[in-house]
Chain A
Amino acid sequence: MSAGWIPACKTGDVGAEDVVRFDHGGRTFAIYRTADDKYYATDGLCTHEKVHLAHGFVMDTIIECAKHNGRFDFTTGEAKGAPACIHLKTYPVKVEAGQVFLQLD
């Protein structure tokens, strides 16, 4: 396996159109699965008030934060309007043999 790829979870750990939390090396991430079984990863905390995005709600490719309804496109990290004003950092993801990996910088 190439350097930097971290096993995050099994594909079945994330429901369709849902998100789970993944902690690694003192950092927290959010792993997303779309309705058509594509996987994405971002930083795990909302850029607005550091709430775990894994408690939020996935609609298509939007994650909505559970605390203040801040929205991000998790495929690009783009903040979609107040109170989310700062973009999310995204990470490359790959799936191999039922395992989701994300590549850290």
Chain B
Amino acid sequence: MESQTPMPIPKRDYSLVGSETQRAYEKGLVSAPWYASPIARPRLKELMRRKDGPAIRHTLLWFALIIGSGTAAFLTWGTWGCVPALFVYGTLYGSTSDSRWHECGHRTAFKTVWMNDVVYYIASFMVLREATAWRWSHTRHHTDTIIVGRDPEIAVPRPPGLFAVCLKFFALPGGLRELAKIARHCFGRLNAVEKDYIPGSEHPRVFREARVYAAIYVATIACALATGSILPLMLVGLPSFYGAWLVVVFGLTQHAGLAEDVLDHRLNCRTVYMNPVFRYLYWNMNYHVEHHMFPLVPYHALPALHEELKADMPPAYRGLVETYREIIPALLRQAKDPAYCVKRPLPLAADAALQGGQA
């Protein structure tokens, strides 16, 4: 009797220097014009206007929470009391730094440029991303959002490895890869993928920053050895791993399960309504369609931008529960059928215009 061999699940090449890269060029998906919802220029100018006040207040509170929870962890170290303190500290350090990294990387959080840069460098270290290398990575993410073969920040390649998604909650293996990259950059080496999106003029800066990161890690390890305690590493370095869970909870909502290779952010990004505490922790990155469409609008103006654009958007998700009710089944299905994606409903008028344009 002839046994049937199961068909292998087709895999796409997510490398930036692989076969899909050429395909993206051929399909006109590289550095292509993207759909933008209509908005009056004077109103957009109002929304793009920068302020220092909100980000200063939010950042002072953020530092106070980090220092407070870190102090509590230090004082309760060796008792059960340190567990909740480290949970709070680690989450603030390893997760909420992601949104500070993001907004200050765009230099829109503060009006004053140096304030953006100071917070950007601190947050980059905390979230375990080399500042300059990731600035260029994120620049590419905005040029070619979820374009396979071009976007270095596709969080869940298809077919998704579900165990790999679970490991992300502890920044694994991504965090270990980042440490390996730091070590490589310390010796002045970039790989082909990095050279694809980091211009040559920026390479010396990447190497300098890697050496600073490495020096901080070496000093922390030396401190731990000298004191005979792992506490220094629990406060510097390891929170990027044990505190990474909230990055994943929030971050997967951005694009997971949605379309690849489209030129309309309404089809490959999500906007999710969140409560004020989550929006503070995430600095309004939950308005992700709006952010990608108009990245000059600072985080504190994104809710107002959402109000201006929502008639031309798919309906926003009513919280994390509704969002994950879509994401989890989508990823489970993509594990078997990588061609599957969630199709976001466009408003009828917008959909008709898009279909007409593509005909």
Contacts and interface: CB of A to CB of B under 8 A. Distances in A.
B31 A66 contact: no
Interface in A76-93: 80-83, 85
A20 to B, nearest CB: 10
Interface string A49-92: 11000001101000010111101000000001111010000000
A67 B33 CA distance: 10
Interface stretch (B135-143, B166-174, B221-229, B233-241): B135-143
Contact of B135 (A15, A49, A56, A82): A82
B343 interface: no
Given A49-B31, A50-B31, A85-B201, A56 B296 contact: yes
B134 to A, nearest CB: 11
A58 to B, nearest CB: 8
B11 to A, nearest CB: 29
B265 interface: no
A58 B319 CA distance: 35
Contact of B136 (A57, A59, A80, A82): A82
A49 B139 CA distance: 10
Nearest to B42: A15
B287 to A, nearest CB: 17
Contacts of A57: 45, 48, 296
A66 B143 contact: no
A68 B326 CA distance: 30
A82 B142 CA distance: 14
A18 interface: yes
B356 interface: no
Interface residues of B, number: 23
B276 interface: no
B255 interface: no
A19 B171 CA distance: 43
Contacts of B294: 66
Nearest to B201: A85
B295 A18 contact: no
A67 B202 contact: no
Interface string B123-158: 000000000100110010011000000000000000
Contacts of B31: 49-50
Contacts of A48: 139
B136 A66 contact: no
B92 to A, nearest CB: 26
Interface string B43-58: 0010010100000000
Chain A to chain B: the 4 pairs with minimum beta-carbon distance, closest first = A57-B48, A83-B139, A57-B296, A68-B139
29 contacts: A15-B41, A15-B42, A15-B45, A18-B45, A48-B139, A49-B31, A49-B143, A59-B50, A59-B111, A64-B296, A67-B295, A68-B139, A68-B142, A68-B143, A69-B106, A69-B107, A69-B108, A69-B295, A69-B296, A71-B107, A80-B113, A81-B113, A82-B132, A82-B135, A82-B139, A83-B135, A83-B139, A85-B199, A85-B201
Interface of B: 31, 41-42, 45, 48, 50, 106-108, 111, 113, 132, 135-136, 139, 142-143, 199, 201-202, 294-296
Given A64-B296, A66-B294, 5 more contacts: A48-B139, A49-B31, A66-B295, A82-B202, A83-B139
